[in-house]
Amino acid sequence: MQNDTFPVFPNLTAAISDSGLTRRELAQVLGMSVSSLGRRLRGSMEFRLRELLVLHALFSEIPMSVLLKRSQPTDHQSDEEELSCQM
């Protein structure tokens, strides 16, 4: 089961945040709605080639393999994060 609040592309999410772009601005550059961008970041929709090319141009200093690396929490990771917060 997929968690809709966990970003599937944490490196991309961090790059967006670090760039100072808002999700609204990025969605506009990509030619989509903010909700469509959110669905792509959560992994419920795939990025299209044109969108990937725009992302590559915007974040050219980060290799695409790093930028689009997928990550999903496991039950084990969630337990470790919870324990580290309690210490």
The predicted pLDDT at position 6 comes to 62
Number of domains present in the structure of the chain: 1
For residue 84, pLDDT beyond 70: no
- Judge whether 2 lies within some domain: no
- Judge whether 1 lies within some domain: no
Domain membership of residue 62 as a residue range: 10-86
The predicted pLDDT at position 57 comes to 95
- Judge whether 33 lies within some domain: yes
Distance between CA 48 and CA 59 in Å, rounded? Answer: 16
- Judge whether 36 lies within some domain: yes
Over residues 41-66, mean pLDDT:
93
Q: Are 10 and 67 in contact (CB under 8 A)?
A: no
Least Cα distance to 10 among 80, 52, 61, 67 occurs for 67
Residue 35: CATH number of its domain: 1.10.260.40
Q: Which residue has the higher pLDDT, 74 or 34?
A: 34
Integer Rg of the chain from CA: 14
